[in-house]
Amino acid sequence: MRDLTVQIGSLRLTNPLIAASGCFGYGVEYAGAIDLSTLGGVAVKGLFLAERDGHAPPRIVETPAGMLNAIGLQGIGVHRFVAERLPELRRLGATVFVNICGSTIDEYCEVARVLSDAEGVAALELNISCPNIKEGGLQFGCSLTGTHDVVSAVRKVTSLPIIPKLTPNVTDVASFARASEEAGADAVSLVNTFLAMAIDVETRRPKLTNVLGGLSGPAIRPIAVRMVWECAQAVKLPVIGMGGIATTDDVVEFMLAGATAVQVGTANFVDPFIWTRLLSGLDTYLERHDIGRAADLVGALDLGHPEPA
Amino acid sequence: MRDLTVQIGSLRLTNPLIAASGCFGYGVEYAGAIDLSTLGGVAVKGLFLAERDGHAPPRIVETPAGMLNAIGLQGIGVHRFVAERLPELRRLGATVFVNICGSTIDEYCEVARVLSDAEGVAALELNISCPNIKEGGLQFGCSLTGTHDVVSAVRKVTSLPIIPKLTPNVTDVASFARASEEAGADAVSLVNTFLAMAIDVETRRPKLTNVLGGLSGPAIRPIAVRMVWECAQAVKLPVIGMGGIATTDDVVEFMLAGATAVQVGTANFVDPFIWTRLLSGLDTYLERHDIGRAADLVGALDLGHPEPA
Amino acid sequence: MIVDVSAEVLENVRLSPEFNVLSLAAPAVARLTRPGQFVMVRVRPGLDPLLRRPFSVFEILRDDAGQPRGISLLNKIAGVGTGWLYRAEPGTRVDVLGPLGQPFAPVDPPAEAWMVAGGVGLAPFATLAEALALRGTSMTLFYGARTAEALYRTDLFERLGARLSLSTDDGSRGAHGRITGPLEQALDALDGRPVTIYACGPTPMMRAVSALAAHRDAPVFVSLEPVMGCGMGGCYSCVVRVQAGERGRFVRSCLEGPVFDASTLVWEALPAGH
Amino acid sequence: MIVDVSAEVLENVRLSPEFNVLSLAAPAVARLTRPGQFVMVRVRPGLDPLLRRPFSVFEILRDDAGQPRGISLLNKIAGVGTGWLYRAEPGTRVDVLGPLGQPFAPVDPPAEAWMVAGGVGLAPFATLAEALALRGTSMTLFYGARTAEALYRTDLFERLGARLSLSTDDGSRGAHGRITGPLEQALDALDGRPVTIYACGPTPMMRAVSALAAHRDAPVFVSLEPVMGCGMGGCYSCVVRVQAGERGRFVRSCLEGPVFDASTLVWEALPAGH
Ligand SMILES: Cc1cc2nc3c(=O)[nH]c(=O)nc-3n(C[C@H](O)[C@H](O)[C@H](O)COP(=O)(O)OP(=O)(O)OC[C@H]3O[C@@H](n4cnc5c(N)ncnc54)[C@H](O)[C@@H]3O)c2cc1C
Ligand SMILES: Cc1cc2nc3c(=O)[nH]c(=O)nc-3n(C[C@H](O)[C@H](O)[C@H](O)COP(=O)(O)OP(=O)(O)OC[C@H]3O[C@@H](n4cnc5c(N)ncnc54)[C@H](O)[C@@H]3O)c2cc1C
Ligand SMILES: Cc1cc2nc3c(=O)[nH]c(=O)nc-3n(C[C@H](O)[C@H](O)[C@H](O)COP(=O)(O)O)c2cc1C
Ligand SMILES: Cc1cc2nc3c(=O)[nH]c(=O)nc-3n(C[C@H](O)[C@H](O)[C@H](O)COP(=O)(O)O)c2cc1C
Ligand code: FES
Ligand code: FES
| Closest C-alpha among A69, A82, A74 to residue A101 | A74
What are the pLDDT digits (tens) for D160-211?
A: 999 999 999 999 999 999 999 999 999 999 988 999 999 999 999 999 999 9
φ and ψ at residue B281, rounded to 5 degrees: -65, -40
Looking at CA atoms only, how far is residue A197 from chain B in angstroms? Answer: 5
pLDDT value of residue A135 = 63
8 A C-beta contact, residue A122 and residue A161: yes
pLDDT value of residue A309 = 41
* C45–B contact, CB cutoff 8 A: no
Contacts of C247 (CB under 8 A, 6+ apart): A53
Residues in chain C: 274
Distance of CA C175 to the CA centre of its chain: 22
Q: How far apart are CA B42 and CA A76, in angstroms?
A: 54
pLDDT value of residue A305 = 60
* AA identity, residue B154: V
Residue A93 has pLDDT above 70, yes or no: yes
Residues of D within 8 A of C46 (CB-CB) are: 46, 48-49, 80
Looking at CA atoms only, how far is residue C62 from chain A in angstroms? Answer: 26
Q: How far apart are CA D8 and CA D96, in angstroms?
A: 10
Distance of CA A212 to the CA centre of its chain: 20
Buried residues in A229-265 as b, exposed as e (16+ CB within 10 A): bbbbebbebbbbbbbbbbbbebbbbbbbbbbbbbbbb
Would you tell me the crossing angle of helices B221-234 and B173-182 to the nearest 10 degrees? 40
Q: Report the separation in Å between the CA atom of A193 and the middle of ligand 3, taken as the mean of its atom positions.
A: 6
Would you tell me the crossing angle of helices A144-157 and A173-182 to the nearest 10 degrees? 30
Atom number in ligand 3 closest to CA A266: 27
Q: Select the residue from C236, C253, C268 to test the A interface by mutation, using most A Cβ atoms within 10 A.
A: C236
Cα R_g (chain C), whole angstroms: 18
| Pairing mode, strands A60-63 and A66-69 | antiparallel
Nearest CA in chain A to D47: A64
Q: How far apart are CA C180 and CA C93, in angstroms?
A: 39
Buried residues in B14-41 as b, exposed as e (16+ CB within 10 A): bbbbbbbbbbbbbbbbbeebbebeebbb
* B306–C contact, CB cutoff 8 A: no
8 A C-beta contact, residue B142 and residue B113: no
- Specify whether the backbone of D248 is left (phi greater than 0), alpha (psi in -120 to 50) or beta: left
The answer to whether the CB atoms of A308 and D270 lie below 8 A apart is: yes
Contacts of A192 (CB under 8 A, 6+ apart): A127, A129, A130, A131, A141, A165, A166, A167, A168, A214
8 A C-beta contact, residue B224 and residue B190: yes
Residue B148 has pLDDT above 60, yes or no: yes
| Closest C-alpha among D198, D121, D119, D122 to residue D157 | D122
| Pairing mode, strands D38-42 and D60-62 | unpaired
Q: How far apart are CA A281 and CA A298, in angstroms?
A: 17
pLDDT value of residue C270 = 84
The answer to whether the CB atoms of C4 and A273 lie below 8 A apart is: yes
Looking at CA atoms only, how far is residue D268 from chain A in angstroms? Answer: 9
8 A C-beta contact, residue D214 and residue D274: no
Q: Report the separation in Å between the CA atom of C78 and the middle of ligand 1, taken as the mean of its atom positions.
A: 6
| Pairing mode, strands B66-69 and B212-216 | antiparallel
Buried residues in C100-110 as b, exposed as e (16+ CB within 10 A): bbbbbbbbeee
For the segment D28-38, the average pLDDT, to the nearest whole number, is: 97
What are the pLDDT digits (tens) for D76-91?
A: 999 999 999 999 999 9
Task: Name the residue with higher pLDDT: A304 or A69.
Answer: A69
For the segment B89-109, the average pLDDT, to the nearest whole number, is: 96
Residue A137 has pLDDT above 80, yes or no: no
Q: Answer yes or no: is the C-beta of C227 below 6 A from any ligand 5 atom.
A: no
A44: pLDDT confidence band, cut at 50, 70 and 90? Answer: very high
pLDDT value of residue B135 = 63
| Closest C-alpha among B125, B144, B287 to residue B190 | B125
Q: What is the mean pLDDT of chain D?
A: 95
Residue A136 has pLDDT above 90, yes or no: no
Q: Answer yes or no: is the C-beta of D120 below 6 A from any ligand 2 atom.
A: yes
Q: How far apart are CA B194 and CA B213, in angstroms?
A: 8
Q: How far apart are CA C107 and CA C117, in angstroms?
A: 17
DSSP, collapsed to helix, strand or coil, labels residue D210 as helix
For the segment D263-272, the average pLDDT, to the nearest whole number, is: 86
Q: How far apart are CA A58 and CA C273, in angstroms?
A: 11
- Number of inter-chain CB pairs under 8 A, C vs D: 12
Q: Report the separation in Å between the CA atom of D234 and the middle of ligand 6, taken as the mean of its atom positions.
A: 5
Q: How far apart are CA B192 and CA D35, in angstroms?
A: 39
Q: How far apart are CA B131 and CA C207, in angstroms?
A: 54
Q: How far apart are CA B297 and CA B6, in angstroms?
A: 10
Nearest CA in chain B to D54: B270
pLDDT value of residue C272 = 64
B196: pLDDT confidence band, cut at 50, 70 and 90? Answer: very high
pLDDT value of residue B234 = 98
pLDDT value of residue D274 = 44
The answer to whether the CB atoms of C272 and B308 lie below 8 A apart is: yes
Q: Answer yes or no: is the C-beta of D74 below 6 A from any ligand 2 atom.
A: yes
ipTM given for this complex: 0.97
**Angle of CA points A13, A15, A20, to nearest 5°:** 85
Question: What residues does D259 pair with on adjacent strands?
Answer: D223
- Specify whether the backbone of C201 is left (phi greater than 0), alpha (psi in -120 to 50) or beta: left
- Number of inter-chain CB pairs under 8 A, A vs C: 95
Residue D222 has pLDDT above 80, yes or no: yes
pLDDT value of residue A153 = 96
Q: What is the mean pLDDT of chain A?
A: 95
Q: Whose CA is nearest to atom 5 of ligand 2?
A: D55
Residue B309 has pLDDT above 50, yes or no: no
8 A C-beta contact, residue B149 and residue B105: yes
Atom number in ligand 6 closest to CA D231: 1
The answer to whether the CB atoms of B300 and A225 lie below 8 A apart is: no
* B303–C contact, CB cutoff 8 A: no
pLDDT averaged per 10 residues, chain C (length 274): 96 96 97 97 94 98 95 97 95 96 96 95 97 96 94 95 95 93 92 94 95 90 97 97 92 97 92 58
pLDDT value of residue C113 = 96
B136: pLDDT confidence band, cut at 50, 70 and 90? Answer: low
Residues of B within 8 A of A169 (CB-CB) are: 171
8 A C-beta contact, residue B141 and residue B176: yes
Q: List Cα–Cα distances, B101 to A176, C272, D147, in angstroms.
A: 30, 51, 53
- Specify whether the backbone of D189 is left (phi greater than 0), alpha (psi in -120 to 50) or beta: alpha
Residue B133 has pLDDT above 90, yes or no: no
Q: How far apart are CA D156 and CA A235, in angstroms?
A: 62
Q: How far apart are CA B142 and CA B171, in angstroms?
A: 9
